[in-house]
Amino acid sequence: MIINFLFAAIKAGTPLLFGTTGEIMTEKSGNLNLGVEGMMFMGAFMGFFVGFHTGSLPLALLAAFIIGNFAALIYAFLTVTMMANQNVTGLTLTIFGIGFAKFFGEIMIRKAGGSPKLSPEFMITISEKPIPVLGEIPVIGKLIFSHNPLVYLSVLVAVICSIYIMKTRAGLNMRAVGENPAAADAAGIKVTRIKYLHIMLGGGICGLGGAYLSLINGGGVWNNSSVVNGQGWISVALVIFASWSPMKAIFGSLVFGAFSVLQFYAPKDIIHIPNAFYVMLPFLITTFVLIFASMRKSKTGSQPAGCGINYFREER
């Protein structure tokens, strides 16, 4: 029972991990992109659309990643080049992304004459199966080594991003841009290029999170109404919970994943709480996270100092 619960928590946490990692990459380069929800929606549609037509998982993921890039590119152009307000632009991107996915989702449904379904072969590629040898280890084998391939991909992406941020030269330059673009600029770093690259990279990763939701959580059927449903917003809050570290985000997404599946595993015959409460729970926890985060005062592990502020070299 507990293993099942944790297993489900990991599954539910995976899209959050994608979203959080993507947003961390964006914020570390100094841009607060509130469009995660929208980018995930777009990734969800593109991932499903391409998966539906080609039956290829890599192509589906690539499509989701690219549409995320594209959505983030719009955001980057507006905020970095045109100096638009980051909050407003991000919110707008969310609205745009939801509209985009629902519009084309509707067209897809019309063309398919009913809810489009992924092919059985495709469903097998994305199904959960134990990894040989490792999957046979008791408890751990079931808990950790018997997932669908996207779960491993999300952890891999988070680990790579973490190493990139903390250990590489490019990561250092990117952190500097996020903290103090003027200082980075004076040090000869191409601030604009770095911002564009990481905003787009972050958007792509968010897109993958969306693809996870439509391909895995959707059970192989396109559902036009509630594909992403707030996961993008939780991801934005998770960035704070994870104190801008992809490694901590792995843990954080697990916690939030657990909250979102709690309703199916809570012993209902003992505790009588309306289902709506469980549905609300992740958002409630998100609120508390934000409150505690605002009370925390440390220089490291807090929001990059330049985050949310547009940089213009000749500003005086």
Partner 1 sequence: MEKKKNETMAIELKQITKTFGSVVANNKIDLSVKQGEILALLGENGSGKTTLMNMLSGIYKPDSGSIFINGQSVTINSPEDAIRLGVGMIHQHFKLVEVLSATDNIILGAKEKGLFLHKSRSERIKDISKRFGLNINPEKKVYQMSVSEKQTVEIIKVLYRKADILILDEPTAVLTPQETKRLFEILRRMKKEGCAVIIITHKLNEVLEISDRVTILRKGESVATVDTAKTSAKELTELMVGRPVELSIEHPTNDYNENLLEIHHLTVENEEGVNMIKDITFDLNRGEILGVAGVAGSGQKELCEALAGLLPVKKGAVLYQNENIVGKTPNEIIKMGISMSFIPEDRLGMGLAASMGMVDNMLLKKYNEGKGPFVSKKEARELAKRLVKQLDIVTPTVDTPVRRLSGGNVQKVLLGREIESGPNVLITAYAVRGLDINSSYTIYDALNEQKQKGVGVLFIGEDLDVMLELCDRIMVLCHGKITGIVEAKATTKEQLGLMMTDAAGAKGGKS
187 lies in the binding site for partner 1 (CB under 8 A): yes
Query: Does 294 participate in binding partner 1 (rule CB under 8 A)?
Result: no
- 198 Cβ partners below 8 Å, 6+ apart? 25, 26, 28, 29, 31, 174
With residue 215 as reference, give the H or E element that holds it: none
85 sits near partner 1 (criterion: CB under 8 A): no
**Among 89-97, 116-124, 180-188, 231-239, the segment contacting partner 1 (CB under 8 A):** 180-188
Are 30 and 307 within 8 A, CB to CB?
A: yes
Residue closer to partner 1, measured from CB, 30 or 47: 30
CA dist 118 and 221 (Å) reads 7
Task: Please list, in sequence order, all residues whose beta carbon lies within 8 angstroms of the beta carbon of residue 227, skipping any fewer than 6 positions away.
Answer: 41, 44, 45, 101, 105, 210, 213, 214, 218
Smallest distance from partner 1 to CB 2, Å: 40
Choose the stretch contacting partner 1; rule: CB under 8 A; options: 72-80, 142-150, 170-178, 228-236: 170-178
Contact between 189 and partner 1 by CB under 8 A: the answer reads yes
Collect all residues with Cβ–Cβ distance below 8 Å to 171 and sequence separation of at least 6.
163, 164, 165
The answer to whether residue 168 forms part of the interface with partner 1 (CB under 8 A) is yes
Quick check: 307 binds partner 1 (CB under 8 A)? no
Please identify, using beta-carbon distances, which residue of 288 and 312 lies nearer to partner 1. 312
Shortest distance, CB of residue 194 to partner 1, whole angstroms?
10
Other CB atoms closer than 10 Å to residue 160's CB: what's the count? Answer: 12
Is 180 a binding residue for partner 1 by CB under 8 A? The answer is yes
Contact residue for partner 1 among 190, 268, 275, 290 (CB under 8 A): 190
Q: Which lies closer to partner 1 via its Cβ, residue 81 or residue 287?
A: 81
3-state secondary structure of 245: coil
Decide if residue 184 touches partner 1 (CB under 8 A). Answer: yes
Distance, in Å, from the CA atom of 232 to the CA atom of 283, rounded to the nearest integer, reads: 11
Residue given tokens 């990059």 in the structure block: 304
DSSP 257-276: HHHHHHHHHS-TTT----HH
x-marked contacts with partner 1 along 247-286 as a string, rule CB under 8 A: ----------------------------------------
Stretch that binds partner 1, among 39-47, 76-84, 187-195, 259-267 (CB under 8 A): 187-195
Applying CB under 8 A, does 290 fall inside the site for partner 1?
A: no
Burial tier of 281 (Cβ tally within 10 Å: 0-12, 13-18, 19+): middle
- Are 235 and 19 contacting, i.e. CB atoms less than 8 angstroms apart? yes
- Counting contacts by CB under 8 A, is residue 24 touching partner 1? no
User: Quick check: 172 binds partner 1 (CB under 8 A)?
Assistant: yes
What residue ranges bind partner 1 (CB under 8 A)? Answer: 167-170, 172-173, 175-176, 179-180, 182-190, 297, 299-300, 305, 313-314, 316
